[in-house]
Chains A and B, each alone.
Chain A
Amino acid sequence: SQQGEEDPQALSIQEGENATMNCSYKTSINNLQWYRQNSGRGLVHLILIRSNEREKHSGRLRVTLDTSKKSSSLLITASRAADTASYFCATALGTGNQFYFGTGTSLTVIP
């Protein structure tokens, strides 16, 4: 089964509003990463947060990590139409080499 699960599956908001999406995972992680994918394109890395970190910021993006709840959230503030995309979390476990991707949240920002 997949390690990461995003919630909600789909989100539609007006331009200027904030968008929050969540990721839950099942086992202890070394780090968690968020990626964006525009339709039919490759993934673009947004933020990496390590297991000993609780919050990271990058521009309009804020990521939190709660290892006790095995969950992370991605907040996009002041959303723009260009933020319309699918957002995936990916977890890196133990000493393994793999990342485990969730099924993604599809975000639509309405101009």
Chain B
Amino acid sequence: DGGITQSPKYLFRKEGQNVTLSCEQNLNHDAMYWYRQDPGQGLRLIYYSQIVNDFQKGDIAEGYSVSREKKESFPLTVTSAQKNPTAFYLCASSIKRQETQYFGPGTRLLVL
């Protein structure tokens, strides 16, 4: 079953805590993306990666970090520097840049 998965579905963060959101794909896609979606809003790009061991900041990268050690995996860490992390986080992949993106089911991050 090919696809893109995200875990967990819900994540709770305490003040000052770093948390990591998982994103895995078995579509053999080179490009992967992280987006943030706030209520009633569109998607804003946090980070993207076109190839293993390379990634670029998107429009709202401050307070976030990523790694791309494997083609299949693109985890996102929400650091304590991100002061307003409550949002819906979506991971996506595409075979190459500017082509169709395939999205995971999302992770909803809440602050305790």
A111 is an interface residue with CB less than 8 A from chain B: no
A81 is an interface residue with CB less than 8 A from chain B: no
Q: A18-41, CB under 8 A of B: which get 1 and which 0?
A: 000000000000110101000011
Inter-subunit contact A97/B98 (CB<8 Å): yes
Neighbouring A residues of B40 by C-beta, 8 Å: 103
Inter-subunit contact A42/B101 (CB<8 Å): no
Neighbouring A residues of B105 by C-beta, 8 Å: 41-42
Inter-subunit contact B90/A43 (CB<8 Å): yes
- Report, as a range, how many residues of chain A touch the other chain: 20 to 34
Number of interface residues of B (CB under 8 A): 29
Q: How far is A86 from B66 in the complex, measured between Cα atoms in Å?
A: 28
Kindly provide the distance from the CB of A56 to the nearest chain B CB, expressed in whole angstroms. Answer: 13
Neighbouring A residues of B33 by C-beta, 8 Å: 99
A68 is an interface residue with CB less than 8 A from chain B: no
Q: How far is A101 from B60 in the complex, measured between Cα atoms in Å?
A: 14
Q: B75-112, CB under 8 A of A: which get 1 and which 0?
A: 00000000000001010100001111111111010000
Chain B residue nearest to A93 in the complex (CB): B98
The one of A33, A42, A45, A98 that contacts B48, using a Cβ cutoff of 8 Å: A98
A44 is an interface residue with CB less than 8 A from chain B: yes
Neighbouring B residues of A4 by C-beta, 8 Å: 42
B45 is an interface residue with CB less than 8 A from chain A: yes
B50 is an interface residue with CB less than 8 A from chain A: yes
Inter-subunit contact B103/A44 (CB<8 Å): yes
Neighbouring B residues of A45 by C-beta, 8 Å: 100-102
